[in-house]
Structures are given as C-alpha cells and as structure tokens.
C-alpha cells in the first residue's frame, strides 16, 4: 500500500526494512490479518514482526506505538 505513512527517521534506524513496512500498516490501524495478506506472509509471521517492533521501540500496544511515532515529529525527523 503506497498511501501508508513512513515511520519517522529516528524510529526507522532501529528497524529492519520489513519492520518499517509493518510499522506503516500498524500506524494506519491495520490488523495483523490485513498486514499478512497484503505482504504475502503468514499471520504468525506478522504477529512476530509486530512483537519484535514493540520490543525494540519499548511500547506495549499500538496506541503507544502511535504516540511514539508522533513524538518523533513525523517523517522529516
């Protein structure tokens, strides 16, 4: 999906390219099932990426992830 936002620069440096793709879906409010279908991966793989992203960024849920992304000042940071 090309209309999904890119994660802010500071966050992007912590994540792999695939994790950055998935963050874009999560930030847009997409569920794991949609992420899996759109990216052609299993649901379990999408869940594993999500868990790894949360761990790396020190967040516990998607709301905290969104707050963390907003605090970074957007994609130009």
pLDDT single digits (tens) 2-53: 454 555 557 778 899 999 999 999 999 999 999 999 999 999 999 999 999 9
Q: Which CATH class is domain 9-71?
A: mainly alpha
Domain segments of the chain: what residues? Answer: 9-71
The closest alpha carbon to 53, from 8, 5, 20, belongs to 20
What one-character DSSP code corresponds to residue 5? P
Give the Cβ contact number of residue 8 at 10 Å: 20
pTM, full prediction: 0.78
**pLDDT tens by residue, 58-77:** 999 999 998 988 875 544 33
Whole-number Å distance between alpha carbons of 69 and 65: 6
């Amino acid at each position: 999906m090309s209309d999904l936002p890119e994660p802010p620069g500071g966050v992007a440096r912590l994540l792999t390219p695939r994790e950055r793709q998935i963050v874009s879906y999560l930030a847009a409010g997409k569920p794991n099932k949609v992420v899996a279908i759109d990216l052609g991966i299993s649901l379990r793989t999408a869940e594993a990426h999500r868990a790894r992203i949360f761990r790396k960024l020190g967040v516990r849920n998607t709301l905290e992830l969104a707050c963390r992304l907003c605090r970074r000042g957007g994609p130009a940071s």
